[in-house]
Amino acid sequence: MNPQKFLDLNLICSACLREQKREVVLEKTESGYHCSSCNRLYPYRSVVYVLENRCNPKHCNYECRKICAKNAISKSFIDGKGYFMLGSILKNINHPKIFIGENCNNCAKCIDVCPLGAIAGIKTPIFLDLETANIKYSRTVDREKTHDNKNSENLQLRTPLKEGQIRPAPLFLYRAVAKELKNLKEDEIIIDNGCGPNITKTFIFGKKNFLSFDIYAYHDAFLPLDGITNGENLPFKSESVDVFLSITVLEHVTNPVKYLQEMQRALKANGKLILAVPSPWWHLSKLLALHHHLNYLMHIVKNPLRFFKNPVRDFNLFWAHEKDCNHENAKYEMTFSREIEEFQDSKWKNLFYGAGFKIEKMINIGNIFSNNIFAGWIAKGIGNSKKLPIFYIYILEKK
């Protein structure tokens, strides 16, 4: 089935489902998707993305940074929290780019002032409550510079990464996921529930029926998102989806059981969920990675009082995997030591069984050197470790 046709036939009002236990199919309009039952509108809004191949601050005066009222735009080798992204430093010496951080409200004023046309506004449906949509996605789509998502679904925002540019950990992970997806039928609908910057989609060559959703739009994404939604309140009909992907998302959501149950509800009978989560060995691999220690040093320098007040607690909070992705629904108090316990294989499996899944297959991914960008040759030489993997991939089937 064509992805757009799937959306037109299977999008429902998540509010009606949550509040009235009714599945009301949304009607597509010029301004968004409308619910005839509760009269809610899930609007189209302009989501801002950086076009990597056009962005070159050497040929402008950072007009985008000057006009940004949220101070959301920085140089791309420093992320939105002020930490160095070491993999980008050398690249940015000769080819500088901008980075748009989490506090961006998508007002899209930067689009209007960019002389290089390096910032795009993509027309995207927002399946969140209207108040949140108005705060985080404030620009409507009635302006010339907003691109229709229908014409932008294959718009390459960033050059796909080559294997040599990817740390071994995600490289091993995406390779394994791509291998599993090759076994699917061509007409099956795949939904990436928590797609992040859409890296997975760039690895899935030839899979046209692929839709990507997240609660947050990454402005440095490789490809535009198909919609903004909360993974714990999905806007899809029951038994409508063939395959869900969830790549290192489950550990970040507020309610893991609800997140899993929503996908179980929307999956067809015998539908599959391909899910990746970190193992307890993830934390050892992180401690063996130099760039994480540099980021921790910057974290201390930015707020030394917080560190010296309680060094153990500060360490425990900072080094938690959860802090790598703390958006609207993050568990801010998740700690390093607690995650080691929570990421056990047995704990994950109990979650899956409780949400109505059976486990078809489990794959161990990576090794303790996989996160170290300076020891990639060691990690690749070891490959996927049976005893010390840093990720688990589970192939789950709806009961």
* Cα within 13 Å of Cα(214), Cβ side: 25
Q: Same domain for 80 and 121?
A: yes
Q: Same domain for 151 and 174?
A: no
Q: Same domain for 121 and 189?
A: no
Residue 128 · residue 228 · CB < 8 Å: yes
pLDDT at 147: 59
Q: Same domain for 220 and 258?
A: yes
Residue type, 58: K
- CA 6 to chain CA mean position, Å: 22
Which of 132, 159, 186 is where one domain is finished?
159
Q: Same domain for 90 and 142?
A: yes
Q: Which residues contact 21 (CB under 8 A, 6 or more apart)?
A: none
Q: Same domain for 208 and 341?
A: yes
Q: Give the predicted TM-score (pTM) of the model.
A: 0.88
Range of the domain at 235: 160-399
**147 by DSSP, 3-state: which?**
strand
Q: Same domain for 178 and 322?
A: yes
- Report the domain count for the chain: 3
> CATH no. for residue 223?
3.40.50.150
pLDDT at 249: 93
Ranges in the chain, pLDDT < 70: 76-96, 141-155, 161-165, 205-207, 322-333, 373-377
Q: Same domain for 77 and 178?
A: no
Q: Same domain for 63 and 127?
A: yes
Q: Same domain for 231 and 280?
A: yes
Q: Same domain for 281 and 339?
A: yes
Q: At what angle do helices 311-318 and 290-302 cross, to 10 degrees?
A: 130
Rounded-to-5 percentages of helix, strand, coil across the chain: 35, 20, 40
> CATH no. for residue 139?
3.30.70
Which of 95, 126, 159 is where one domain is finished?
159
Q: What's the Rg (C-alpha) of the chain?
A: 21
DSSP classification of residue 198: T
- Tell me how far apart the alpha carbons of residues 100 and 48 are, in angstroms, rounded to a whole number: 9
pLDDT at 206: 58
Q: Same domain for 237 and 360?
A: yes
Which of 128, 159, 190 is where one domain is finished?
159
